[in-house]
Amino acid sequence: MTLIKSISGIRGTIGGQVGENLTPIDAVKFAAAYGTWLKQHREKENYRVVVGRDARISGKMIQNLVMNTLVGMGIHVIDVGLSTTPTVEVAVPMEHADGGIILTASHNPKQWNALKLLNEKGEFLDAVEGAKILDIAESNRMNFADVDSLGKITKNKAYIDLHIIEVLDLPLVTVKPIEEARFRVVVDGVNSTGGIAIPLLLERLGVDVIKLYCEPNGHFPHNPEPLKEHLTDLSAAVKKHKADFGIVVDPDVDRLAFMDENGEMFGEEYTLVACADYVLSRTPGNTVSNMSSTRALRDVTEKHGGTYEASAVGEVNVVKLMKKNKVVIGGEGNGGIIYPESHYGRDALVGIALFLSLLADKNISVSELRKTYPNYFMSKKKIELTPGLDVDGILKEMEDRYKNEQLTTIDGVKIDFPESWVHLRKSNTEPIIRIYTEAKSQEEADNLADKFIGEIGIIAKG
């Protein structure tokens, strides 16, 4: 049980001690700190904040605490209710709001929740602004409104529909060819808000939708991280219904993975690769993903005559480099599609629409599409942090050990070998060290990860 404060927001488990978990007191404190920062940041008379949530069990409680804290600061709230992270991101500029808060712990299990904080563009705060909010929270420098200056809450449940309209209006989303292809798709909505938004989008595109776990009650039927080992039910449903493919999203719908017609994973890493292949074929340009993402994006980008660059992990870091390099598409290898033509945020709805456009254009099966891309295999492992473990010291030791290899140290330590790579870093969202590797076979990737886990263990023992 823990409370994690990072550029990814304020994240913790429900219940327990104040300051150690995401208790009601902590939710109020950090909402008030955000409201204080907003007033310092924007300096105007009236303030508006969009607030939405995923379907997790604690969501309604946390949302009410957050909204009424903002009301107590004299800030007006647009309550979009059950929503998706990208929907809230799209809603902020549509509402001409000053910011947004999404109540979601993304792929974390049901006992977790979080406050994800947005600026007036509907984009995540950078590390500098995030640090200001943490400082305000720790110092208790919050000032509340008097009784005549309290904010108001306005409900607006239209934004999932408005978001879908925005996606369908994108020039590269080919609505008519998708309708004519008459796809059949199984959707695993993990009993969260993807179960609302994804079927609605697909139905608008003429897709025959088979719903699996699309009841937004917050009782996740499996671990909500969209990885192969959690998706046996989706695999069975795709085969049973003879579907063209399967779709799975995480609880807040910013991560997207596909399953082919045989019930096999397309590969979460290849969601971005496929969408980028389609976008680059229509609008040549450059791409960005983070350092823990597959080399296949680099290969596909160069095939289309563009250049690829990797950022530090974290959506805000990816977006910053995307803007600097003026890229046409980017994102993260965890199934996060960021398409600037829409907005600068990971968006599964955009990813699905681009993927369907690609499939309709190529007129091939999902398994055949996968064979057209370079074949890399990734291993994603982790080490639980124990008290007293000197993570920075371990990473420095790794840097010294491999100083003769191609090293990148902007985010942990990444070591690029000719045929493989390994990335070691502290997680922003969990108390763990992540060990990501990629190689030409699954066995090589797993062996490389195990080798480094062993080395870390030896260093930790001193």
- Nearest Cα to Cα of residue 319 among 344, 298, 295, 297: 344
Question: What stretches of 43-101 show up as alpha helix (H) in DSSP?
Answer: 59-72, 85-94
Active site annotation includes 342: no
pLDDT tens digit sequence for 312-366: 998 999 999 999 999 999 999 989 999 999 999 999 999 999 999 999 999 999 9
How many other C-beta atoms lie within 10 A of the C-beta of residue 232? 11
pLDDT tens digit sequence for 232-272: 999 999 999 999 999 999 999 999 999 999 999 999 999 99
- Nearest Cα to Cα of residue 207 among 240, 164, 177, 249: 177
Amino acid at 136: I
**Dihedral pair phi/psi, residue 53, rounded to 5°:** -150, 160
Q: How many CA atoms lie within 13 A of 56 on its CB side?
A: 30
**Alpha-carbon span 195 to 203, nearest angstrom:** 13
- Nearest Cα to Cα of residue 380 among 422, 338, 352, 326: 422
Average pLDDT of the residues of the chain: 95
Six-digit token pair at 144? 């509340």
pLDDT of 8 reads 64
Amino acid at 277: D
Residue pLDDT tens, the chain, 462 long: 578 887 667 999 999 999 999 999 999 999 999 999 999 988 888 999 999 999 999 999 999 999 999 999 999 999 999 999 999 999 999 999 999 999 999 989 999 999 999 999 999 999 899 999 999 999 988 999 999 999 999 999 999 999 999 999 999 999 999 999 999 999 999 999 999 999 999 999 999 999 999 999 999 999 998 888 999 999 999 999 999 999 999 999 999 999 999 999 999 999 999 999 999 999 999 999 999 999 999 999 999 999 999 999 989 999 999 999 999 999 999 899 999 999 999 999 999 999 999 999 999 999 999 999 999 999 989 998 887 788 889 999 999 999 999 999 999 999 999 999 999 998 877 778 999 999 999 999 999 999 999 999 999 887
How many other C-beta atoms lie within 10 A of the C-beta of residue 78? 23
Which class for 227: exposed (0-12), middle (13-18), buried (19 or more C-beta within 10 A)?
Answer: middle
pTM: 0.93
Strand 329-332 versus strand 336-338 pairing type: antiparallel
pLDDT tens digit sequence for 178-219: 999 999 999 999 999 999 999 999 999 999 999 999 999 999
**Alpha-carbon span 129 to 117, nearest angstrom:** 10
Strand order in the sheet with 406-408: 377-384, 432-439, 421-426, 413-416, 406-408
Catalytic residue among 8, 58, 83, 106: 106
pLDDT of 1 reads 52
3-state secondary structure of 255: coil
pLDDT of 460 reads 85
Question: What stretches of 158-205 show up as alpha helix (H) in DSSP?
Answer: 159-168, 175-181, 194-204
Strands (E), 261-359: 287-290, 308-311, 329-332, 336-338
3-state helix, strand, coil in the chain (%, to 5): 40, 25, 35
pLDDT of 103 reads 98
Calculate Rg over the CA atoms of the chain. Answer: 22
